[in-house]
Amino acid sequence: MSSCWGNQIKLTIFGESHGTAIGGVIDGLPPGLTIDFDEVGFQMKRRAPGQHQWSTHRHETDEWELLSGMFQGKTTGTPLAFQIRNRDQKSKAYAELNIVPRPSHADFTGNVRYHGYQDYRGGGHFSGRLTAPLVFAGAVARQVLATKNIQIGGHIRTIGTLSDTRFNPIDPASHLFREVALKQFPVIDDTAGDQMKALIESARKDCDSVGGTVEAAIIGVPAGIGSPIFDALESSMASILFAIPAVKGVSFGDGFDITTLRGSQANDQYDQMDDQRNLTTSSNHNGGILGGITSGMPILLNVAFKPTASIAKPQQSINMRTGEQTKLIVKGRHDPCIVPRAVPVVEAAMAFSLLDSICQIKGLEYWS
Amino acid sequence: MSSCWGNQIKLTIFGESHGTAIGGVIDGLPPGLTIDFDEVGFQMKRRAPGQHQWSTHRHETDEWELLSGMFQGKTTGTPLAFQIRNRDQKSKAYAELNIVPRPSHADFTGNVRYHGYQDYRGGGHFSGRLTAPLVFAGAVARQVLATKNIQIGGHIRTIGTLSDTRFNPIDPASHLFREVALKQFPVIDDTAGDQMKALIESARKDCDSVGGTVEAAIIGVPAGIGSPIFDALESSMASILFAIPAVKGVSFGDGFDITTLRGSQANDQYDQMDDQRNLTTSSNHNGGILGGITSGMPILLNVAFKPTASIAKPQQSINMRTGEQTKLIVKGRHDPCIVPRAVPVVEAAMAFSLLDSICQIKGLEYWS
Amino acid sequence: MSSCWGNQIKLTIFGESHGTAIGGVIDGLPPGLTIDFDEVGFQMKRRAPGQHQWSTHRHETDEWELLSGMFQGKTTGTPLAFQIRNRDQKSKAYAELNIVPRPSHADFTGNVRYHGYQDYRGGGHFSGRLTAPLVFAGAVARQVLATKNIQIGGHIRTIGTLSDTRFNPIDPASHLFREVALKQFPVIDDTAGDQMKALIESARKDCDSVGGTVEAAIIGVPAGIGSPIFDALESSMASILFAIPAVKGVSFGDGFDITTLRGSQANDQYDQMDDQRNLTTSSNHNGGILGGITSGMPILLNVAFKPTASIAKPQQSINMRTGEQTKLIVKGRHDPCIVPRAVPVVEAAMAFSLLDSICQIKGLEYWS
Amino acid sequence: MSSCWGNQIKLTIFGESHGTAIGGVIDGLPPGLTIDFDEVGFQMKRRAPGQHQWSTHRHETDEWELLSGMFQGKTTGTPLAFQIRNRDQKSKAYAELNIVPRPSHADFTGNVRYHGYQDYRGGGHFSGRLTAPLVFAGAVARQVLATKNIQIGGHIRTIGTLSDTRFNPIDPASHLFREVALKQFPVIDDTAGDQMKALIESARKDCDSVGGTVEAAIIGVPAGIGSPIFDALESSMASILFAIPAVKGVSFGDGFDITTLRGSQANDQYDQMDDQRNLTTSSNHNGGILGGITSGMPILLNVAFKPTASIAKPQQSINMRTGEQTKLIVKGRHDPCIVPRAVPVVEAAMAFSLLDSICQIKGLEYWS
């Protein structure tokens, strides 16, 4: 684990927000696949900062360079490495973070963990910018999955107490996946979206921030992926989802809401068997996973993001050199809400995780 | 991963509910530790079935036998293996599970994953009984942690819509840990507990079941444990928590509730630095983890358990041989609510996970 | 790693020579396989002590008990655990090993590693007895491999300076595998074997010991197994072979002898392509592995075993309490040469390693 | 594993010989270390091609660029990534390798493994050029080790049947390490070296190649590093050494020669205990490792390299499209003997492996 994730398909991520470059290495991809890099670029752009009013004003183009792993337009099967050069750093804004830690950031914990030697500029290796390599890897992974008609989509489910329409748990309607992904503000219901945008703008004006949740789904997953106990698909998917900065909760199916149901309400009863002997259920409270193994029903999950920790309001902190209390005003460019840009990150993590799990059961040759 | 978990301290779990034995192997323990096996027995008994009205009537004594790893009353540092023989099996009650799968159980997904060859009796390797080895391992791990004054406690936070008092997030009051653990029904507020018991009893009478959440805390954790990105403590802890059957959600600190706060409310502001240069915060919405790394504040988390899948009410299912719909009445002995017995399981998973993470940073010799 | 080995198929080994039991857990086996346990017993007996003049007089029957993972006569696919109870311990003979370490044993290094808390009786977790679980696991693995006509054989290649006939590197003649395995003294050429036995007996009379090498081969391996760089089949196979006590060298194909050839002699030139587009070579100096990947030619390797460290001759050692030099006479029952019993251990390690590597490329479903 | 190696300190390697760049990511380094990059450059230059008569004429400068992991002149502790751009590619020379495979190269096995999609130019990901990132990582690792006075050295032990003087196994005389490393032809005895050079030159003139062995040593290793069974230091060190192209054998201490000794000759008898209660032995046939754990005596090992597979002599091969036999003359620039350049690669692999093993026992904080 550490900065390397996966069993059969591994992702190694490197870089700091204001260092030379960030990037990643994807190891174990099936050989011979065509990757549509325009589509990769589309996914990268969904996450990129500086595009909208509610996102940070940092203008990173997130242009990547492939370093290895593609040959004659196809994956080689050997490690696919890529880098994204950092360009628009304004490091001076961050100089004191290793002395006066920002509340709810990793400044203090990173300082302890790395004995003060971590690159603290812009959050360094802890920066949300490190989700760019994850989105890149996920964009590759979802193209592999698509060769078997496995599709992934997500949307903002809530911002503060405002809610979007939910996916239909039985049939999340894959046309929605693309429609929502193409929107600047990825919600199903644009009216709800307008209210959310107003809420974010209001927080921004108050020098404050808001949080929210992302709902995401995968359809077309074959039954039988995952294993009981420690290799539960929920275990591996939660593991990579909690790697995304600001995530404080992950749930599958009805999640915490299932705790208020009775068994007779929560159980997904079987109602049909198809030609391939797959069973379907008339409800999907379990989110497509039973005993850690996919059932063939849509995978459904929710991820909770805390409000952006960086706010311009004065906050209480401590000068770690002197031990004295001090007021801190976080400078720099920050999203008042990171949830809109988090949607493609969640999808990417899910794609990479599922690809790894499928490869463990089906082997590399499943894709060829 | 798979049935083996951990990086520096590994736990391998084996067995089926109605097979010869279940058990585990703990590899990488520090040598020279005294283990109080009465205390291990106490933890095992907290999880054991058959003790209370709301738990299954199966009478497993959960007596273990140590096979290796202890010598002259101390851990050797080499693998500590143990087995728990299965005794009170009534396998006939389960004979048809591989034909007509129980809703919300792993009967169907296990059948697909293992091509019908899994031991389906009593859920086999998917059974909640497999949490006994986890509790055993956790009971050992928490004794290692206790040598550094790290303590773990949990309680039933909710059953259905009924709530217990929460831990104080700044100071969960470790005396509560033991007090609650000694209760037959592990809540802080016994009045709330009585209402919960009544709710469970009511579900049982209706041939139904209820779910709930467990809140748990760890205090005394040094700052600096965990790593950014894929080795976030939340990632590893969620990974092992989702290995517990029936878990559908895991959250840290305020969890999903944090999404409704503004940054100025959710941020934990620093208010003091102690002699060891540790900072403390005046709130703990983040549950003691920032950037995947412990801050030294209490670790706080919540785990959602779905209602027991096994209910005596008739349910719709499919005969997998014929494809025909059929009514299923789940026989056997089952808890109408597994949350009370899940509390020590959650604590055990947390203990094992934290021990592994500490060893990665501090090394084995930290404990000697 | 540690006491757990493998990526897709994992083996966890536990136990001490004079503890309660030794055993193992095999995780990730394909489901639905019939295992011939008489054949497992045959492999176990090849390794067992006490059968011959040249082996230790300890009479362990090595009777195992299955704890999980088999159901209705087939593998379930979930962890297969087994234990072997220790019976014929004479622990008093070992009491001073933690004070006066035996030369070339792990007494001193184990004492440092485990701070003196290791179970030192009979070598504890370091004992050659811990190869019994490996042979068990290998006996299962080779039966999985046999379903695809992959076969493994080995023989004593040398004892001291005496040599057996070598396998033909192009065609190791699989009928030899069984013939040799059935012999009490596993050589191809029994005349050479008689000389070896005389050499061992002579060493025994001198209260001394001798070493030797094992040559082993695998035939029927599909081309394309393994990966470049760190997942080279040689890397993983060497990793598990060096886990066998007393191994000091591992080589593939011509091994160290290849260093004295010129490229024009050492290169295996291609001479044919078969119907499945597999190439064959007219020589096999590389032992069936190129770039870490199988070529389809027989895998050939050699393993060097040092002379048994336990000898009855007086040796120089140090009393670790006082720091004084002292003469040590190793008591207990020991083989004057462990090479004959090491042959099935080498084969077992190869089988397990190859099975794991095949599963990584082909997936679990390859076997069903 | 795969293209990622290590438990606590991980190395991920990427790239193809004629792709855009090769490089690596080192994860888990202790923070706060100063790295002397002139010294890294020195190690890189020892491995670099094009410097001598006996090495390939390819002129790669092996200039690297750091992408992350260093800040203000010190390691951050987060992933240290680096790239080495490929410059002097002459890819046309390799165009037919995917049709007519070179004997003893990975052309055929790579083709099968990657279904023909591997980058075959110059060996692609299988190229010896991929040892450059390993040397880089080893150069960093050896500087970490040096903070605890752990030093590594190697030399050409044999070329063909010609031998250099061996290291003294009790005291390899660390001054030799630097002296030999500074030589263009890394031997202890320059007279032997001259003969070896003549042998290599003679092979080159014959359009042929020669092999040889590297002997290497590590001194200053604390006792107690490594673990029994699967985490034996020999297991992990052999695993990474077999990742080096052309390695066909790895042995520790006396290696295969120990098989011709009697126990009374091979056993390393204890003769002294020092102030820190470390024991020393009067011989070192075991190469400083007993039971998989370091004894504190020098680690000694030998690695066998086959003759360079690329020779200009005509060889028999097969056209994989037609199945017809064909004569092949390998073009391109190749070393007639890769052993001189392999010495720093062996040292690098040992350094990285030992660093990982020490961190597992001692923890990251050992170095701070």
Tokens of B132: 């006994």
Beta carbons of D31 and A117 less than 8 Å apart: yes
Query: Is residue A52's pLDDT more than 80?
Result: no
Chain-centroid distance of CA D150 in Å reads 18
Beta carbons of A253 and B248 less than 8 Å apart: yes
Beta carbons of C16 and B81 less than 8 Å apart: no
Residue ranges of the binding site of D for FMN: 125-127, 291, 306-310, 333
The predicted structure's pLDDT at residue D311: 95
Q: What are phi and psi of B305, to 5 degrees?
A: -110, 130
- As a whole number of angstroms, the distance between CA C192 and CA C162 comes to 7
The predicted structure's pLDDT at residue D200: 97
Residue whose C-alpha is closest to residue C229's, from D5, D119, D18? D5
Decide which of B161 and B56 is more confident: B161
Q: Is C104 annotated as a binding residue?
A: no
User: For B227-282, what is each residue's pLDDT tens digit?
Assistant: 999 999 999 999 999 999 999 999 999 999 999 999 999 999 999 999 888 999 99
Query: Which residues have a Cβ under 8 Å from the Cβ of D144 and sit 6 or more positions away?
Result: D29, D30, D33, D355, D367
User: For A304-339, what is each residue's pLDDT tens digit?
Assistant: 999 999 999 999 999 999 999 999 988 776 889 999
How is chain A split among helix, strand and coil, in percent rounded to 5? 35, 20, 45
- Sequence letter at residue C4: C
Q: Neighbouring chains of C at 3+ CB pairs within 8 Å? A: A, B, D
Distance from CA of A43 to the nearest CA of B (A): 20
Domain layout of chain B by residue ranges: 4-367
User: For A148-189, what is each residue's pLDDT tens digit?
Assistant: 999 999 999 999 999 999 999 999 988 999 999 999 999 999
Distance from CA of A78 to the nearest CA of C (A): 8
Chain D residue at shortest CA distance from A79: D14
Query: Is residue B52's pLDDT more than 70?
Result: no
Using a CB-CB distance cutoff of 8 angstroms, which residues of chain A are in contact with residue B2?
227, 229-231
- Sequence letter at residue D26: I
Residue B153 vs residues B214, B252, B355, D57: alpha-carbon distances, Å: 10, 15, 15, 67
Buried b (16+ CB within 10 A) or exposed e, A124-147: bbbbbbbbbbbbbbbbbbbbbbee
Beta carbons of C80 and B23 less than 8 Å apart: no
User: For A220-262, what is each residue's pLDDT tens digit?
Assistant: 999 999 999 999 999 999 999 999 999 999 999 999 999 999 9
- As a whole number of angstroms, the distance between CA D151 and CA D217 comes to 8
Query: Is residue D1's pLDDT more than 60?
Result: no
User: Which candidate from B14, B80, B83 shows the least CB-CB separation from C79?
Assistant: B14
Give me the residues of chain C with pLDDT under 70, please.
1, 51-61, 88-95, 333
- Sequence letter at residue A351: A
Using a CB-CB distance cutoff of 8 angstroms, which residues of chain D are in contact with residue C228?
3, 106, 110, 125-126, 130
Using a CB-CB distance cutoff of 8 angstroms, which residues of chain B are in contact with residue C98?
none
Query: Which residues have a Cβ under 8 Å from the Cβ of D190 and sit 6 or more positions away?
Result: D183
Chain D residue at shortest CA distance from C222: D112
Q: Is A126 annotated as a binding residue?
A: yes
Find which of D84, D107, D114 to mutate to test the A interface (most A CBs within 10 Å of its CB).
D114
Tokens of D132: 């450059």
Task: Please determine, for the modelled complex, whether the ipTM score is greater than 0.90.
Answer: yes
Query: Is residue D49's pLDDT more than 90?
Result: no
The predicted structure's pLDDT at residue C96: 79
Beta carbons of C117 and B13 less than 8 Å apart: no
- HSE-up (13 A, CA, CB side) for residue D106: 31
- As a whole number of angstroms, the distance between CA D110 and CA D131 comes to 18
* Secondary structure E strands in chain C: 4-5, 10-15, 21-27, 64-68, 70-71, 74-75, 80-85, 151-159, 162-163, 212-219, 247-252, 270-273, 279-281, 289-290, 293-294, 299-305, 315-318, 325-328
User: For D220-265, what is each residue's pLDDT tens digit?
Assistant: 999 999 999 999 999 999 999 999 999 999 999 999 999 999 999 9
User: Which candidate from A5, A250, A291 shows the least CB-CB separation from B106?
Assistant: A291
Beta carbons of C248 and D252 less than 8 Å apart: yes
The predicted structure's pLDDT at residue D51: 67
Q: Which residue in this structure is represented by tokens 């507990």?
A: B193
Beta carbons of B118 and C78 less than 8 Å apart: yes
The predicted structure's pLDDT at residue A359: 95
Beta carbons of C365 and A365 less than 8 Å apart: no
Query: Is residue A60's pLDDT more than 80?
Result: no
> Which band of pLDDT confidence, cut at 50, 70 and 90, is reported for residue D203?
very high
Interface of A with D (CB under 8 A): 2-4, 10, 12-16, 19-23, 25, 27-28, 31-32, 65-69, 71-72, 74-81, 83, 113-119, 124-125, 368
Q: Is B178 annotated as a binding residue?
A: no
Answer whether D224's CB lies under 8 Å from C112's CB. yes
Query: Is residue B363's pLDDT more than 60?
Result: yes
What's the alpha-carbon Rg for chain B, to the nearest Å?
21
- Sequence letter at residue B146: A
- As a whole number of angstroms, the distance between CA C101 and CA C98 comes to 6
Using a CB-CB distance cutoff of 8 angstroms, which residues of chain D are in contact with residue C310?
263
Using a CB-CB distance cutoff of 8 angstroms, which residues of chain A are in contact with residue D367?
none
**What is the arithmetic mean of pLDDT over D174-193?**
96
**What is the arithmetic mean of pLDDT over B46-61?**
68
Query: Is residue D105's pLDDT more than 90?
Result: yes
Interface of C with A (CB under 8 A): 7-8, 78, 228, 359-366
The predicted structure's pLDDT at residue A311: 95
Q: What are phi and psi of D305, to 5 degrees?
A: -110, 130
Decide which of A252 and B332 is more confident: A252
Answer whether A39's CB lies under 8 Å from A143's CB. yes
Chain A residue at shortest CA distance from B130: A229
CATH architecture for segment(s) A4-367: 4-Layer Sandwich (3.60)
Tokens of A173: 């309607």
Find which of C97, C159, C270, C357 to mutate to test the D interface (most D CBs within 10 Å of its CB).
C270
- As a whole number of angstroms, the distance between CA A327 and CA A312 comes to 11
- As a whole number of angstroms, the distance between CA A12 and CA C125 comes to 35
Q: Is C310 annotated as a binding residue?
A: yes
- As a whole number of angstroms, the distance between CA B143 and CA B160 comes to 33
- As a whole number of angstroms, the distance between CA B240 and CA C142 comes to 32
H/E element holding C335?
none
Q: What are phi and psi of D288, to 5 degrees?
A: 80, 10
- As a whole number of angstroms, the distance between CA A119 and CA C130 comes to 47
Among residues of chain A, what percentage have pLDDT more than 90?
Answer: 86
What is the number of residues in chain D?
368
- As a whole number of angstroms, the distance between CA B299 and CA B301 comes to 7
Q: Which residue in this structure is represented by tokens 């031997």?
A: D187
- As a whole number of angstroms, the distance between CA A358 and CA A340 comes to 28
Chain C residue at shortest CA distance from A7: C7
Beta carbons of D16 and A71 less than 8 Å apart: yes
Decide which of D38 and D275 is more confident: D38
**Largest pairwise CA distance in chain B:** 71
Residue C237 vs residues B6, C80, C140, C294, D230: alpha-carbon distances, Å: 23, 22, 17, 12, 11
> Which band of pLDDT confidence, cut at 50, 70 and 90, is reported for residue D331?
confident
Chain C residue at shortest CA distance from A78: C228
- If DSSP states are collapsed to H, E and C, what string results for chain B? CCCEECCCCEEEEECCCCCCEEEEEEECCCCCCECCHHHHHHHHHHHCCCCCCCCCCCCCCCCEEECCCEECCEECCCCEEEEEECCCCCHHHHHHHHCCCCCCCCHHHHHHHCCCCCCCHHHHHHCHHHHHHHHHHHHHHHHHHHCCCCEEEEEEEEECCEECCCCCCCCCCHHHHHHHHHCCCCCCCHHHHHHHHHHHHHHHHCCCCECEEEEEEEECCCCCCCCCHHHCHHHHHHHHHCCCCCEEEEEECCHHHHHHCEHHHHCCCEEEECCCCCEEECCCCCCCEECCEECCCCEEEEEEECCCCCCCCCEEEECCCCCCEEEECCCCCCCCCCHHHHHHHHHHHHHHHHHHHHHHHHCHHHHC
Interface of D with B (CB under 8 A): 7-8, 78, 228, 359-366
Beta carbons of A366 and C363 less than 8 Å apart: yes
| Mean pLDDT rounded to a whole number for chain B | 93
Find which of D18, D34, D67 to mutate to test the A interface (most A CBs within 10 Å of its CB).
D67
The predicted structure's pLDDT at residue A93: 59
Beta carbons of A208 and B263 less than 8 Å apart: yes
Answer whether D60's CB lies under 8 Å from D130's CB. no
Using a CB-CB distance cutoff of 8 angstroms, which residues of chain A are in contact with residue D76?
16, 114, 117-119, 124-125
Distance from CA of A73 to the nearest CA of B (A): 30
Beta carbons of B255 and A1 less than 8 Å apart: no
Q: Which residue in this structure is represented by tokens 């193994």?
A: A293
Query: Which residues have a Cβ under 8 Å from the Cβ of C101 and sit 6 or more positions away?
Result: C107, C108, C111, C317, C318, C320, D270, D279
Residue whose C-alpha is closest to residue C176's, from C187, C185, C184? C187
Q: Is B123 annotated as a binding residue?
A: no
Query: Which residues have a Cβ under 8 Å from the Cβ of D326 and sit 6 or more positions away?
Result: D100, D316, D317, D318, D319
Buried b (16+ CB within 10 A) or exposed e, D80-104: bbbbbbbeebeeeebebbbbbbbbb
Beta carbons of B19 and C68 less than 8 Å apart: yes
Q: Neighbouring chains of B at 3+ CB pairs within 8 Å? A: A, C, D
Chain B residue at shortest CA distance from C34: B117
**What is the arithmetic mean of pLDDT over D319-328?**
94
Chain A residue at shortest CA distance from B286: A104
Query: Is residue D62's pLDDT more than 80?
Result: no
Buried b (16+ CB within 10 A) or exposed e, B97-130: bbbbbbbbbbbbbbbbbbbebbbbbbbbbbbbbb
Query: Is residue A58's pLDDT more than 80?
Result: no
Decide which of D117 and B89 is more confident: D117
- As a whole number of angstroms, the distance between CA D95 and CA A246 comes to 49
The predicted structure's pLDDT at residue D91: 59
User: For B277-311, what is each residue's pLDDT tens digit?
Assistant: 899 999 999 999 999 999 999 999 999 999 999 99
Question: C250 forms bridges with which residues in the sheet?
Answer: C303, D250
Find which of C100, C233, C262, C326 to mutate to test the D interface (most D CBs within 10 Å of its CB).
C262
Distance from CA of B73 to the nearest CA of A (A): 30
Residue whose C-alpha is closest to residue A149's, from A289, A360, A358? A358
The predicted structure's pLDDT at residue C276: 87
